[in-house]
Every structure is written in C-alpha cells, then in structure tokens.
Amino acid sequence: MDDDCAVMGERRLEGGFDGGATLVDGTVRRVAGPWSPSVHRLLAHLRDRGFDGAPLPLGVDAQGREVVTYLPGETAGAQRPWPAWTHSDEALVQVAGWRRRFHEAVLDFEPGVDALKALADPARLQLLAYILDQPGQEACTCNLAPIVKLSEPTVTHHLKKLEASGLLTKERRGMNVYYRGVPEAIHAIATALHVNCC
C-alpha cells in the first residue's frame, strides 16, 4: 500500500484508525464512514469558534474519502512503547491547554439527534460505556456479548447503530472486529448534557 500511495503522490500517515490516512497536496484523506458528517459538523463548529487545534473539514474527494486540513506536528502513531516526549511535563501542559480550549469551544455545540437516539437504548449505552472504559477506548466484538448478556448478532446490531450515529468507529484485524469510541462525538454529547466526561 505504501508503494501505491507513493506512486499516486500520496504519503501514508502514521497511526490513525479504520485503515489510517494519507497526505495529499497538504490535505489529509481517509475513508469516510457513517460518522463522517457528524465529525465534520463538529469540526466546522470548532472552526467557527476560533479553535485552531483541530483540522478544518473540506468535504469529500472524488474517491469518496473525507478531506480535512493537515495539522503539522509529531505523533506517537503506532509506536510502542510511546516515545519519551509523550510523558514529558511539556506534553502534559500542551494537552491540558488543548483540552481546555476544546471544552470551551464545544460548550454550545448541539450534537445530532442520531447520537442521542442511539444512546436511548440501555444495551447500547452499556456497550459504549464498556468500550470507553477499556485501554485505548476500544474492544473486540468477541468480548462484548457476555457484557450485555445478549447474542452476538444482537450486539453487532447495536454496535452498527452506535457506529452509524458517529459514536464508534470499527477496524477489522484478522478475524476480529474492534470498535473504538469517537472522542469528539462523545465529548460533544457530554458537554451538551453537562456531564463531566473523559
């Protein structure tokens, strides 16, 4: 895949979820999903509030990938263990400042009704809470059925609803599927409901 990207003038970016992202002409492209409109709505809101710590939404390209501006900087990506700079006091101060500015910027953001409808089901709420409580805020579908005491097909149905609402993303790893929380969407709902979260 890296060779294909280089030929097309694209550079694969480290990290990411759902297959990662590529850099094309100073913009970031990644596979769009059912969550994309919700995330773009939030990014547009952040832009309108003068928040510069998140990319700007630019729409969708001819290949159906979502397009956002590129934010220069360094990321830990897939490195394990994380580099020493991620544990520094300077990084902690930067993250705390970013988070504070983010919370101030989303105070008046109103999430879409789809996310709130998805959370109206107790099983979905329990699944989301469990996933958010796991390391990396992700969990394999193979571990979720016993948590809510429902069949695997029913759990899969609930997870698809949470994904469609923009609260989760998924990634296939071999034979297993992992779901991960979308922090921006979850923070937006928590802020709208005045809940102290994450």
Domain CATH for 185: 1.10.10.10
Residue 97 has pLDDT above 90, yes or no: yes
Q: Can you tell me the mean pLDDT for 68-97? A: 87
Q: Any idea which of 49-58, 59-68, 113-122, 148-157 has the lowest mean pLDDT?
A: 113-122
Compute the chain's Rg from CA coordinates.
Answer: 17
Q: Which residues pair with 66 in a beta bridge?
A: 30, 60
Contacts of 121 (CB under 8 A, 6+ apart): 158, 161
Query: What's the number of domains the chain is made of?
Result: 2
Q: What is the pLDDT of residue 127?
A: 93
Residue 172 amino acid letter: R
Q: Can you tell me the mean pLDDT for 61-65? A: 85
> Taking a C-beta distance cutoff of 8 angstroms, is the pair 29, 21 a contact?
yes
Q: What is the residue range of 177's domain?
A: 113-192
3-state helix, strand, coil in the chain (%, to 5): 45, 20, 35
Contacts of 163 (CB under 8 A, 6+ apart): 33, 34, 35, 169, 170, 179
Instruction: Specify the higher pLDDT residue, 64 or 55.
Output: 55
Establish whether the linkage from the previous residue to 81 is cis, with ω within 30° of 0.
yes
Band of the pLDDT at 196, cuts 50, 70, 90?
A: low
Q: Which residues pair with 168 in a beta bridge?
A: 181
| 61 and 121, same domain (yes or no) | no
Tokens in use for 137? 């805020």
Q: Which residues pair with 57 in a beta bridge?
A: 68
Residue 4 has pLDDT above 50, yes or no: no
Position 197 in a domain: no
